[in-house]
Structure 1
Amino acid sequence: MISNRPLLSRVAATTAAVVLVLGTTATPATAAVPDSARMVALGDSITRAAAADGTLDAQPQNSWSTGTASSVNSHLRRLEAAGVDMTGANHSRGGDRSVHLATQATNAVGTTSADYVTILIGGNDICYASTPSGTTAPDVFEANVRRALDIIEAGNPDTRVLLASVPSMMSLWRVGRDNLTIRLRWSLIGICPVMLANPTDTSAAANSRRAAVEARVDEYNRRLAKLAAERPNVFYDNGAVHNTPFTPADLSVLDGFHPSLSGQNKIAKVTWDEAVRQGLFDVG
């Protein structure tokens, strides 16, 4: 849903100065005075930017959301470029599933509310399971995300939240199935076997397994869209992350799974563009 109150709005003053206002209606001023804003990232290792530069450690500075490094044009850096004095906090954690999201939200806004929150969760709800039926049930996934949204709203009803879609596991498999190097990385690490095990197996059973996994991802994304439709300050990316085509260069050279710096930039761009399109930001 599109709110009538964009997170950022530009108002021309009588002196042709521009004031950036967060979450409120602006009054023309005589000088350019950027407002400050607090941004929070919730999610899993993707938002933590694990292995983005090809090394083992998480790299929140390279996150698509609150990253501060010049290597990624994150949402935080884009907001700064629009003139907002940003403070960012990355509470995402590698390995976390939707069940952990409420704890992340509590830690993030328990003492200081946020103006803008991004959430990208769901990959581990898929990848922790050994069979498609063992993945997190859609009703449970929806309830877990809803609980986190309730916590965020209780901290500040005006907080804007962007729900990023769960990435396509099928697309990931298609990127790497014909790439020997990526297949070797998947095999050595044993990453997300429910989708990526035996990647060259195209038997009916293997194809059925992969289709069931992707169907679960699609259902998670339908639930995210539903949650966003219920709340005026919650925005869904309309499948922007899920539908973005990745190449081998967009995957970490360490594991062929997590987004590389290039992949982080792609996520940042498509989610930002969609947020602007929907009116979450008005930075024109």
Structure 2
Amino acid sequence: MRKTGQRVRTTVAVLTAAVVGLSGCDVVGGDPPDEAGLGRQRKAAPKVVWDTRPASIAAVGDSITRGFNTCLVLSDCPEVSWATGSSPEVKSLAVRLLGPAGAAAHSWNHAVSGTRMADLPAQMERAAARRPELVTVMTGANDACRSSMSAMTPVDDFRADFQDAMRTLRQTLPRAQVYVASIPNLMRLWSEGRTNPLGKQVWKLGICPTMLGDADAVDAAAERRRATVQRRVEDYNAVLAEVCGADDRCRYDGGAVYEYRFGTAQLSQWDWFHPSRNGQARLAEIAYREVTGNTP
């Protein structure tokens, strides 16, 4: 009986040691033993944390970010910009994040009216020189708003240009955050503005001819033309989401600007196409919600 008891205790000890050894490998994990017989524990990749309170902002983009046709006809008005403007009516993203004094000292507007995606890398380079913690991007409407359907930017070119812009930024600022706004619904802007005689006269000066040309025409050809432009905008927005989604420090608005139902109160009294002060304020609200949210 004594020998049997010893054998039992010995067997239990061996099994216990084996179980502990297996459990230890399973819990700790790691690479197979190296030549010295020592395991190398794997290190988890560091988690990227989005800063909901960046301390400086640079804006790039087109006429919307410049406040075009908001204060005076055919003129920029950057003080009402949704991104960096100082207007108390708008309460830009910069003002909401930094306060009026902080926005004046630590926000910069590098957007240019008429910009297409091909122009964005140069704007990104100028923005990066300021070393901002956040860069806002809103561009793409002018790639669809061309003199003819054939002149619209091909989707592959649009993607390549946006990727180039992001690479340009990352070469200087690998940790800067980027907020990307979707392109507005151009079909809705046409449907809202086409009832205004003054707006239609301004459209004839060359504002988005592919969508706004022959504003009163509702024949099959006109409807096909507008639908084609609309699909191109949707394709561009898909590219914005794709390229931004490949960057850990980039947030796309999920189509929030595209889906926003701009009414006449949100459109410029000069062209019924660009945002009014009210419209700029709505864009600022969307941006603030996206930038300060815990998740995109």
Residue 39 of structure 2 is matched in structure 1 by none
1:242 aligns with 2:254: no
TM-score relative to the length of structure 1: 0.82
Unaligned segments of structure 1, at least 5 residues: 10-21, 23-36
Aligned mate of 1:74, from 92, 117, 126: 92
Q: How does 1:1-284 map to 2 (within 5 A)?
A: 4-8=48-52, 22=54, 37-81=55-99, 87-109=106-128, 111-131=129-149, 133-187=150-204, 189-277=205-293, 279=295
Residue 15 of structure 1 is matched in structure 2 by none
Q: CA deviation at 1:224?
A: 0.5
Residues 144-200 of structure 1, C-alpha deviations (whole Å, 9 max, x = no match): 11111111112111100011101111111111122333223323x231111101112
**Does 46-55 or 80-89 show the bigger shift?**
80-89
**Does 216-225 or 54-63 show the bigger shift?**
54-63
Residue 25 of structure 1 is matched in structure 2 by none
What is the rounded CA distance, in whole Å, between the counterparts of 1:244 and 1:166 in structure 2?
Answer: 10
Q: 1:82 to 1:237 in 2, by over 3 A?
A: farther
Identity of aligned residues (%): 35
**More RCO (CA 8 Å, sep 6+):** 1
Larger Rg: 2
| Partner SS, residue 8 of structure 1 | coil
Verify the 8 A CA contact 2:192 2:272 in the aligned structure 1: no
Q: 1:163 to 1:72 in 2, by over 3 A?
A: same
**Does 64-73 or 207-216 show the bigger shift?**
64-73
Q: Which has the higher strand share?
A: 1
| Partner SS, residue 76 of structure 2 | coil
Verify the 8 A CA contact 2:199 2:270 in the aligned structure 1: no
| Partner SS, residue 235 of structure 2 | helix
What is the rounded CA distance, in whole Å, between the counterparts of 2:289 and 2:248 in structure 1?
Answer: 19
What is the rounded CA distance, in whole Å, between the counterparts of 1:101 and 1:119 in structure 2?
Answer: 9
What is the rounded CA distance, in whole Å, between the counterparts of 1:55 and 1:206 in structure 2?
Answer: 27
Q: Which has the higher helix share?
A: 2
Residue 21 of structure 2 is matched in structure 1 by none
Verify the 8 A CA contact 2:82 2:92 in the aligned structure 1: yes
Verify the 8 A CA contact 2:177 2:250 in the aligned structure 1: yes
**Does 244-253 or 220-229 show the bigger shift?**
244-253
Unaligned segments of structure 2, at least 5 residues: 1-46
Q: CA deviation at 1:274?
A: 2.7
Residues 45-86 of structure 1, C-alpha deviations (whole Å, 9 max, x = no match): 110111212444311111000112212111100102499776
Over the residues paired in the alignment, what is the CA RMSD in angstroms? 2.0
